[in-house]
């Protein structure tokens, strides 16, 4: 079978057979498909789509392309959460230890940044010494002893997806429902889960920028996952603004640590999304019988410090500093240049072009232009204003953290363009960040 004939079949709108899909997945792993051919098929799927049977076949083939985990004799349910990607989305950083503190076991396989969105793997890579690629034995031990381990996609876990994911990131083929579905679920099925909560972002900072696409993606993931034997529910959540107040790898880790420790007021939208997804995980795992009970358990795990304690043990267990929570500034690198982005006029912040903010972080060095790029963990935005905030002229919309003054000023100008201020005192009512539930 020739790679170019498989590409041609999809280019012309045909449905790929199981044999053609398996040939492609083998080629991803053994290198018999060139980078150009992988990119070409990705673009053909992006333009022509895949039906549900093709998506299931691709998901299962990529899942079987490497090791499939199992968790025999685990004393509690094996659960996970995944996000379709947003700007400032650091929910996973808090959610894994939160659910662990409530009796779940969370072996979270995380990805790198994709397109304009940040990656959980990159945020943990900002911690010196933390191993996102532990041995299977170490991973098993940390999950069993601590209850959670957030790691990166290892070379032997859905390796076909690892290569395809990196190529999609740099060839403008990210926003494809079947490819997003197969990428997410191949890793989650390989992780041996018993329940999955999916966070489908919707809005101008998400891959699903319309409610219709978000509903399509959520339904695709729930149907394919449940069809493959993995109980799954999805929440559609708002991504028309940055989630939380920090954007950038080390900065988001700082915000997650403050959240877990209860330092300062927790961002309301970030808290709402974190607890809502945690509740779905507890319900899937039988750790709560109602949403009210699940929310109460999660809040207690936060208030008691149990979630923070699990986070600290996970970091230490995977090679990071034992005192990261006590001294985050000693370990999380800071940018040499930090400048305010002043508002050009007074008014209420009523809209932001969230995707452009994510692109600005990439341009600062906080994301990748091509798969081989290294990341500057220091850069990003802090103290980002939320929609509904009133700002006076000259007050900061955010603080820009950059490697040099020129880069900082470029992002200051970009922020001033993408943050839209209406008249001061204009009507505003906050809306829930949870838009819909699927499954």
Q: In this structure, what DSSP letter does residue 355 have?
A: H
C-alpha triplet 119, 258, 115: angle, nearest 5° = 15
Q: What is the residue whose two structure tokens read 């889960």? A: 193
Catalytic residue among 80, 89, 122, 125: 80
Helix and strand numbers (H, E) in the chain are: 17, 12
**Any catalytic annotation for residue 404?**
no
What is the three-class DSSP state of 422? strand
Catalytic residue among 81, 116, 201, 258: 81
132-to-120, 124, 378 alpha-carbon distances in Å: 10, 7, 18
Q: How far apart are the first and last CA of the chain?
A: 39
Catalytic residue among 23, 112, 123, 188: 188
**Any catalytic annotation for residue 23?**
no
**Any catalytic annotation for residue 370?**
no
Catalytic residue among 59, 65, 83, 167: 83
Q: How far, in Å, CA of 192 to CA of 204, rounded?
A: 33
Catalytic residue among 65, 92, 117, 120: 120
273 with 198: CB under 8 angstroms?
no
166 with 371: CB under 8 angstroms?
yes
Catalytic residue among 187, 266, 313, 378: 187
Q: How far, in Å, CA of 344 to CA of 322, rounded?
A: 44
Q: How far, in Å, CA of 262 to CA of 259, rounded?
A: 5
**Any catalytic annotation for residue 82?**
yes
**Any catalytic annotation for residue 120?**
yes
Return phi, psi of residue 393, to 5°.
-55, 130
β-bridge partners, 196:
80, 232
Catalytic residue among 183, 220, 237, 354: 183
**Any catalytic annotation for residue 141?**
no
**How do the residues of the chain divide into helix, strand and coil, expressed in percent and rounded to 5?**
45, 15, 40
Q: How far, in Å, CA of 398 to CA of 340, rounded?
A: 6
**Any catalytic annotation for residue 80?**
yes
C-alpha triplet 410, 415, 417: angle, nearest 5° = 100
Catalytic residue among 23, 82, 90, 201: 82
Catalytic residue among 23, 168, 201, 385: 168
Question: How many Cα atoms are found within 13 Å in the side-chain-facing hemisphere of 257?
Answer: 21
**Any catalytic annotation for residue 431?**
no
Residues sharing a CB contact under 8 Å with residue 96, sequence separation 6 or more, in sequence order: 81, 106, 108, 148, 149, 150, 311, 314
Q: How far, in Å, CA of 103 to CA of 334, rounded?
A: 35
**Any catalytic annotation for residue 374?**
no
What is the set of active-site residues? 80-83, 120, 168, 183, 187-188
């Amino acid at each position: 079978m020739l790679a170019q004939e498989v590409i041609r079949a999809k280019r012309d709108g045909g449905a790929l057979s199981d044999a053609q899909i398996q040939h492609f997945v083998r080629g991803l792993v053994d290198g018999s498909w060139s980078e150009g051919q992988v990119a070409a098929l990705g673009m053909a799927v992006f333009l022509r789509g895949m039906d549900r049977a093709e998506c299931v076949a691709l998901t299962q083939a990529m899942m079987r392309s490497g090791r499939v985990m199992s968790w025999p004799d685990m004393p509690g349910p094996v659960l996970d959460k995944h996000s379709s990607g947003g700007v400032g989305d650091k929910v996973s950083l808090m959610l894994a230890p939160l659910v662990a503190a409530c009796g779940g076991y969370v072996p979270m396989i995380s990805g790198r940044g994709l397109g304009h969105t940040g990656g959980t793997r990159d945020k943990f890579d900002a911690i010196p010494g933390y191993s996102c690629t532990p041995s299977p034995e170490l991973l098993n031990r940390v999950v069993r002893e601590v209850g959670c381990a957030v790691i990166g996609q290892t070379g032997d876990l859905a390796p076909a997806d690892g290569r395809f994911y990196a190529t999609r990131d740099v060839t403008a083929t990210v926003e494809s429902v079947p490819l997003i579905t197969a990428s997410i679920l191949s890793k989650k099925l390989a992780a041996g889960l018993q329940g999955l909560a999916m966070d489908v972002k919707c809005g101008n900072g998400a891959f699903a920028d319309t409610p219709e696409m978000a509903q399509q993606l959520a339904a695709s993931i729930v149907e394919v996952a449940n069809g493959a034997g993995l109980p799954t529910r999805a929440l559609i959540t708002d991504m028309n603004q940055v989630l939380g107040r920090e954007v950038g790898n080390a900065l988001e880790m700082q915000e997650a640590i403050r959240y877990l420790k209860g330092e300062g007021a927790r961002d309301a939208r970030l808290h709402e999304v974190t607890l809502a997804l945690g509740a779905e995980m507890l319900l899937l795992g039988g750790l709560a019988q109602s949403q009210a009970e699940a929310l109460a358990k999660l809040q207690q795990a936060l208030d008691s410090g149990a979630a923070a304690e699990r986070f600290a043990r996970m970091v230490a267990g995977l090679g990071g500093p034992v005192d990261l929570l006590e001294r985050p500034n000693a370990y999380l690198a800071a940018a040499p240049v930090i400048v305010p982005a002043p508002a050009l006029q007074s008014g209420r912040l009523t809209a932001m072009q969230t995707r452009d903010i994510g692109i600005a972080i990439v341009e600062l060095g906080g994301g990748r232009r091509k798969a081989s790029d290294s990341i500057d963990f220091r850069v990003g935005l802090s103290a980002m204003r939320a929609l509904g905030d009133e700002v006076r002229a000259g007050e900061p919309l955010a603080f820009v953290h950059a490697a040099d003054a020129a880069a900082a000023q470029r992002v200051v100008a970009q922020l001033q363009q993408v943050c839209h201020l209406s008249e001061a005192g204009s009507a505003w009512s906050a809306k829930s960040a949870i838009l819909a539930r699927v499954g």
